[in-house]
Amino acid sequence: MSTDPRPDLARQRRRRRVRERQAVIFGVMLGAMAVAAFGAAAVYTGNLSLPFLSQDIASPAPTGLAAANSPCPPEGALPVPYSEITVNVYNGTNRAGLAGETSTSLAGRGFVIGVQGNASDVGFSGTQDGTALIQFGAQGAAQAYTVAAQFDSPRLVLDNREDASVDVIVGTSYNALVAAGDVVLAADQPFVAPEGCIPMDQVEPVAQPQPTAAAEPEGEEPPAEG
């Protein structure tokens, strides 16, 4: 009895086609890996420049920077050591004791605390919106920006005081200082002007806050709403 060889021949052809496809796939994979390795080596050694790698990558705006419409920091100004900055802290909310809490937090970072009380003690009425209002004179711009870095998007206001002290009026949105590890300051790096700030020489200073005759100890009589 004779045996038909055609089924064996068909199987052999199928196996050959499978092996050929596998060889093609493996060859393409090996080629792609070789090209990738060559390209990575070229980029690493500087022999290949990719446009999208050479572009600056924008970082998200960090917390601790002044809000828009605040005076810009002086060009080239550097952060001031905390121990050289005197900060007056006022409670601009109805939350009793907030100036004391904030003062303790700032003192814990090395700031020198001057006056502490209610915002109404220095002529502010009602409550202060936002995290904080930071008020300072032209001599204390670098100090003010150093303090501002401790808060999340505070508002800075230039006044006509002649010293380098800084006033902080704590606002209704304040919960805590920016975490110390997240404060965007480097001793040898000048301040970066926040987007929307106004050049200092274009800002008309307001009057420096002055203590009122009926000032109350902070925390005993919170400011009235209004």
Domain ranges of the chain: 9-51, 82-202
The answer to which of 16-20, 38-42, 215-219 has the lowest mean pLDDT is: 215-219
Q: What is the DSSP string of 14-76?
A: HHHHHHHHHHHHHHHHHHHHHHHHHHHHHHHHTS---HHHHSPPPPPPPTTPPPTTSBPPPTT
End-to-end CA distance of the chain: 112
Report the predicted TM-score, pTM, of the whole model to 2 decimal places. Answer: 0.67
Q: Is the pLDDT of residue 26 over 90?
A: no
Q: 197: how many CB neighbours lie within 10 A of its CB? A: 19
Contact present, 134 and 166 (Cβ < 8 Å): yes
| Beta bridge mates, 157 | 135
Domain 82-202 class, CATH top level = alpha beta
Q: Is the pLDDT of residue 114 over 80?
A: yes
For tokens 């952060």, the residue is 79
How buried is residue 128: exposed, middle or buried, by Cβ count under 10 Å (0-12/13-18/19+)? buried
Q: Which residues contact 21 (CB under 8 A, 6 or more apart)?
A: none
**pLDDT for position 48:** 57
Q: Is the pLDDT of residue 145 over 70?
A: yes
Tokens of 191: 């301040």
Q: Is the pLDDT of residue 73 over 60?
A: yes
When pLDDT is averaged across residues 174-189 and rounded to a whole number, the result is: 95
For residue 222, which of 72, 96, 98 has the smallest C-alpha distance?
96
Tokens of 160: 């006509």
When pLDDT is averaged across residues 59-63 and rounded to a whole number, the result is: 41
The backbone torsions φ and ψ at residue 58, rounded to the nearest 5 degrees and listed phi first, read -70, 135
- For 150-166, the pLDDT digits (tens) are 999 999 999 999 999 99
Element (H, E) at 102: helix 98-108
Q: Is the pLDDT of residue 224 over 60?
A: no
